[in-house]
């Protein structure tokens, strides 16, 4: 038991104690068992001792064996260390030998390759240079020791890299120009290997930029500016579309987008090219604004052809037209002025001999007729020229002006159209006022015996043309207001002097369609008013005036009104020219101091009544009477403003009921002429110094005869009627009326009636009356 290999003393004792009987066993029994165990132990002790001796011997033998093994191990370890040292030395030698062999091999290979690598410096084959550079770089990385050629190789590497970059630059340029995507893609890899991708991108940009710049915009007779501009946009769009395809195959796979940089640089250049073409070609264009309008349309269409027409590009390119939009009013004025001047200048009045004298009556009459015929011919020429001018301006305002305003500025410069119209009307009307004044002066200084109807008739035609022009202005004003509100009405809010603009997107084509859907007009892709503060403010004010229905053409009307007043005054003076001649001798007639009352019609009454009857007959033959009425209603000077076109007396009402509408012009002018003629008669009578009683009766008879004749045609001046009444009534009534009518227009009639009847002397004055 004790010689077992796995004997455990502690386990053995425990096991013995586990076999001890419990406490209730008798002491005697325990002692007996203990004695039995001890006896057995004593018997077994010799055997145990022998086992212990055997084990001790085995332990000593094992100890000796272990000592021998330890000595063997120490010897082996010593021999192993020496072997390892030797092995390490051998390995080091081997490594050095291997390195030496490798170095010698690399040197041999370098000697063999250096010739071909050096020769590649002058090769034009990019592959040869590329392979040589790669081989050189491999040698440089592989060589671990300096063989004395490191500097040479470094210099050669630089030269080869430069050579490769030069050849790649050349070949890439060729590939880009030829749009050889495969070759360009391979070359881009060469640049990437050299860490020169940015160089390749710059090279492409400059090449593409050069291709775009080579597209020319050269208007000529074969290709006018609009056609040349369309061709220019088409050519640029074709180049950009090709470049876009090329970039998609070459650069975009590697994440580069150089075309955006190309267009960012080119679009300002493109705008400069367009500006230059406009500047050089438009001054020679027969219709500058018409050409600009077409060019803007071509530019808008052309922009939609470009592959990447961003709002920045649109703004830049259409910016070439902004000067013509901002200065639209000035350009339109010159356009309208040129159209008017193309009609020819208005000739001055002829140099007609005046105040002829010293010849017999028949010869003088012939000369008067010749002079009047010459003046009448000039009046017809003047009326024809005025008609042509009116038609020209009316046509411009109906067609060219609104069309150009809408197409060039989107009606943003409609106020400029109004100012241009006013300037043209001012120049035109001032010229005709001057010519009519010249004609009037010549006519009134030419002695005539008959009513100068041949001279008055073309002037009536001029009045009719002027009335038609006034009506046309009203129509054009309404049309322009409507057009402005269609284009710009929605952009004005409140009282702010600014416009609200449609929000821009990055897609001009979308903006175009959105604008069309909003107001029905494909206006400018970019509204120039966004960046023009002053022009925007003026446009907003004008649009607000249109919204409120305010007059737009007042400035032009003022200029036309000056001519209208001048023409009416001239015509009225011409129609009364014979009346003035007939009244010249009236203040000194012997009839006024006659001692006998004889019923007689004096020559001046017959002459005035006859001329007025002739006028009434002739005036019925006039054409365009509605236009004559329009012109008459626009007069702003006396006596025309003092005449009400509606008669109040019963007789006049009866005549109006029977008259045709076209007779209104007859009635208006006959009232004007008859009132003015009878007013001149009254003024002439005021100059009579004295009347005898028979002379007073003769004067009253003739005034009554004249008034009755005039009332068949038109109206009698209130002053002449009151004068005739005061010459017939009692002296007390006259003196009473003098006081009653003081400070009224009839005060002169009552005063002179009292003076001629001897009721007051010539030195007596009455308030509002100044004796002559």
Backbone angles phi, psi at 472, to 5 degrees: -65, -40
User: Which residues share a beta bridge with 769?
Assistant: 766
Cβ-defined contacts of 38-47 (< 8 Å, 24+): none
For range 638-664, the mean pLDDT: 50
Backbone angles phi, psi at 382, to 5 degrees: -65, -45
Model confidence at 148, in pLDDT bands (50, 70, 90)?
low
The residues spanned by each domain of the chain are: 9-119, 201-325, 327-552, 576-728
Rounded to the nearest 10 degrees, how much is the dihedral formed by the CA atoms of 632, 636, 637, 640? Answer: 30
- Closest by CA position to 749, among listed 719, 707, 706, 772: 719
What's the chain's average pLDDT?
82
Neighbouring residues of 381: CB distance < 8 A, sequence distance ≥ 6:
347
Among 199-203, 415-419, 519-523, 724-728, where is mean pLDDT lowest?
A: 519-523
Can you tell me the distance from the alpha carbon of 232 to that of 216, in angstroms, rounded to the nearest whole number? Answer: 7
Q: What angle do CA 61, 62, 66 make, to 5 degrees?
A: 120
Residue 644 has a pLDDT of 46
Helix ranges (DSSP H) in 590-728: 603-619, 625-633, 650-658, 664-685, 693-711, 718-728
Residue 118 has a pLDDT of 65
Query: Which SS3 state, helix, strand or coil, does residue 766 take?
Result: strand
3-state secondary structure 76-109: HHHHHHHHHHHHHHHHHHHHHHHHHHHHHHHHHH
Residue 105 has a pLDDT of 65
Rounded to the nearest 10 degrees, how much is the dihedral formed by the CA atoms of 388, 390, 395, 400? Answer: 100
Q: What angle do CA 620, 626, 629 make, to 5 degrees?
A: 85
Residue 421 has a pLDDT of 96
pLDDT above 80 for 330: yes
Residue 645 has a pLDDT of 40
Q: What is the DSSP letter of 586?
A: G
Output 164 or 613, whichever has higher pLDDT. Answer: 613
Model confidence at 229, in pLDDT bands (50, 70, 90)?
very high
Can you tell me the distance from the alpha carbon of 563 to that of 478, in angstroms, rounded to the nearest whole number? Answer: 23
Model confidence at 394, in pLDDT bands (50, 70, 90)?
very high
Structure tokens at 291: 């050409």
pLDDT above 90 for 718: yes
- Quick check: 527 and 498 in contact, CB under 8 A? no
Q: Max CA-CA distance within the chain? A: 218
- Closest by CA position to 274, among listed 307, 290, 298: 298
Q: Using the structure block, give the residue that is written with the tokens 């009544």.
A: 609
Can you tell me the distance from the alpha carbon of 184 to that of 179, in angstroms, rounded to the nearest whole number? Answer: 8
Structure tokens at 220: 């000529």
Residue 658 has a pLDDT of 39
What b-and-e string marks burial along 741-751, b requiring 16 or more CB atoms within 10 Å of the CB? beeeebbbbbb
What is the number of other CB atoms lying within 10 angstroms of the CB of residue 516?
12
Percent of the chain with pLDDT over 90: 41
Quick one: angle between helices 288-305 and 508-519, nearest 10? 120
Quick one: angle between helices 414-444 and 453-488, nearest 10? 170
pLDDT tens sequence across 517-546: 666 666 678 888 888 889 999 999 999 999
Query: Quick one: which H or E segment has residue 205?
Result: helix 197-213
**Is the dihedral angle over the CA atoms 369, 375, 378, 384 positive or is it negative?**
negative
Model confidence at 649, in pLDDT bands (50, 70, 90)?
very low
Radius of gyration of the chain (CA): 61
pLDDT tens sequence across 58-76: 888 888 888 888 887 877 7
201 class by beta-carbon count within 10 Å (0-12 exposed, 13-18 middle, 19+ buried): middle
Can you tell me the distance from the alpha carbon of 176 to that of 178, in angstroms, rounded to the nearest whole number? Answer: 5
For range 727-747, the mean pLDDT: 89
pLDDT tens sequence across 473-525: 999 999 999 999 988 888 887 777 788 887 777 777 777 777 766 666 666 78
Q: What angle do CA 630, 417, 537 make, to 5 degrees?
A: 125
Can you tell me the distance from the alpha carbon of 418 to that of 538, in angstroms, rounded to the nearest whole number? Answer: 12
For range 598-604, the mean pLDDT: 85
- Closest by CA position to 141, among listed 152, 132, 150: 150
pLDDT tens sequence across 353-384: 544 444 445 555 666 678 888 899 999 999 99
Instruction: Give DSSP secondary structure letters for 490-501.
Output: GG--TT-SS---
pLDDT above 50 for 43: yes
For range 152-166, the mean pLDDT: 70
- Quick check: 207 and 250 in contact, CB under 8 A? no
What is the number of other CB atoms lying within 10 angstroms of the CB of residue 485?
16
Neighbouring residues of 427: CB distance < 8 A, sequence distance ≥ 6:
337, 340
Q: Using the structure block, give the residue that is written with the tokens 């007042």.
A: 554
Can you tell me the distance from the alpha carbon of 655 to that of 410, in angstroms, rounded to the nearest whole number? Answer: 53
Can you tell me the distance from the alpha carbon of 319 to that of 164, in angstroms, rounded to the nearest whole number? Answer: 44
Structure tokens at 724: 């005739």
pLDDT above 60 for 771: no
Can you tell me the distance from the alpha carbon of 300 to that of 516, in angstroms, rounded to the nearest whole number? Answer: 14
Residue 650 has a pLDDT of 45
- Quick check: 175 and 184 in contact, CB under 8 A? yes
Query: Which SS3 state, helix, strand or coil, does residue 769 take?
Result: strand
């Amino acid at each position: 038991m004790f010689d077992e290999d796995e004997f455990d003393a502690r386990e053995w004792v425990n096991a013995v104690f586990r076999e001890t009987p419990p406490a209730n066993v008798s002491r005697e029994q325990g002692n007996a068992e203990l004695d039995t165990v001890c006896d057995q132990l004593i018997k077994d002790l010799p055997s145990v001792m022998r086992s212990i001796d055997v084990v001790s011997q085995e332990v000593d033998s094992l100890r000796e064996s272990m000592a021998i093994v330890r000595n063997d191990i120490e010897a082996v370890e010593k021999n192993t260390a020496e072997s390892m040292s030797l092995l390490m030395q051998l390995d080091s030698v081997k490594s050095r030998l291997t390195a030496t062999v490798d170095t010698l091999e690399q040197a041999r290979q370098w000697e063999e390759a250096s010739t071909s690598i050096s020769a590649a410096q002058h090769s034009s084959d990019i592959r040869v240079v590329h392979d040589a550079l790669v081989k050189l770089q491999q040698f440089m990385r592989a060589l671990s020791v300096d063989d004395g050629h490191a500097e040479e190789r470094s210099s050669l590497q630089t030269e080869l890299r430069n050579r490769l970059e030069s050849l790649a630059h050349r070949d890439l340029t060729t590939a880009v120009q030829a749009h050889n995507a495969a070759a360009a893609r391979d070359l881009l890899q060469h640049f990437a290997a050299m860490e020169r991708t940015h160089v390749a991108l710059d090279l492409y940009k400059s090449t593409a930029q050069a291709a775009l710049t080579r597209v020319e915009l050269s208007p000529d007779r074969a290709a006018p500016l609009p056609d040349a501009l369309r061709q220019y946009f088409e050519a640029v769009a074709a180049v950009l579309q090709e470049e876009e395809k090329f970039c998609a195959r070459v650069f975009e796979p590697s994440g580069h987008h150089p075309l955006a940089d190309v267009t960012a640089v080119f679009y300002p250049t493109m705008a400069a090219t367009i500006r230059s073409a406009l500047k050089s070609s438009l001054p020679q264009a027969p219709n500058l604004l018409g050409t600009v309008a077409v060019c803007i349309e071509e530019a808008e269409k052309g922009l939609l052809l470009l592959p990447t027409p961003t709002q920045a590009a649109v703004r830049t390119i259409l910016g070439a037209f902004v000067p013509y939009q901002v200065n639209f009013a000035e350009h339109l004025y010159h356009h309208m002025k040129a159209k008017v001047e193309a009609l020819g200048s208005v000739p001055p009045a002829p140099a007609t001999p005046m105040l002829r004298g010293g010849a017999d009556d028949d010869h003088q009459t012939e000369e008067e007729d010749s002079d009047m015929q010459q003046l009448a011919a000039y009046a017809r020429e003047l009326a024809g020229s005025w008609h042509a001018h009116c038609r020209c301006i009316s046509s411009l305002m109906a067609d060219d002006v609104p069309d150009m305003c809408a197409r060039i500025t989107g009606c943003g410069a409609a106020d400029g159209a109004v100012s241009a119209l006013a300037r043209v009307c001012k120049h035109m009307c001032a010229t005709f006022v001057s010519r009519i004044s010249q004609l009037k002066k010549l006519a009134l200084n030419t002695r005539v015996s008959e009513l100068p109807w041949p001279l008055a008739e073309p002037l009536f035609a001029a009045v009719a043309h002027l009335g038609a022009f006034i009506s046309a202005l009203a129509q054009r004003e309404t049309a322009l207001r409507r057009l402005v509100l269609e284009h710009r009405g929605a952009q004005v809010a409140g009282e702010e002097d600014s416009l609200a603009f449609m929000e821009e997107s990055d897609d001009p084509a979308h903006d175009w369609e959105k604008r069309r859907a909003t107001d029905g007009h494909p206006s400018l892709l970019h509204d120039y008013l966004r960046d023009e503060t002053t022009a925007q403010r003026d446009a907003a004010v004008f649009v607000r005036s249109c919204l409120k229905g305010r007059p737009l053409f007042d400035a032009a009307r003022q200029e036309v009104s000056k001519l209208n007043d001048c023409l009416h005054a001239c015509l009225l003076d011409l129609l009364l020219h014979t009346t003035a001649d007939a009244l010249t001798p009236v203040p000194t007639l012997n009839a006024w101091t006659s001692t006998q009352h004889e019923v007689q019609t004096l020559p001046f009454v017959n002459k005035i009544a006859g001329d007025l009857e002739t006028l009434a007959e002739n005036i019925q033959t006039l054409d365009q009477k509605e236009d004559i009425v329009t012109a008459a209603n626009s007069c702003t000077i006396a006596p025309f403003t003092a005449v009400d076109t509606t008669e109040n007396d019963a007789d006049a009402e009866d005549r109006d009921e029977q008259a045709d509408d076209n007779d209104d012009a007859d009635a208006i002018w006959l009232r004007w002429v008859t009132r003015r003629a009878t007013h001149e008669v009254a003024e002439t009578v005021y100059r009579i110094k004295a009347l005898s009683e028979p002379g007073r009766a003769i004067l009253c008879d003739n005034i009554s005869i004249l008034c009755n004749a005039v009332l068949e045609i038109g109206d009698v001046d209130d002053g002449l009627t009151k004068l005739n009444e005061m010459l017939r009534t009692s002296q007390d009534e006259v003196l009473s009326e003098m006081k009653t009518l003081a400070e009224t227009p009839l005060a002169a009639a009552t005063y002179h009636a009292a003076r001629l009847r001897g009721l007051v002397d010539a030195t007596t004055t009455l308030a509002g009356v100044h004796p002559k």
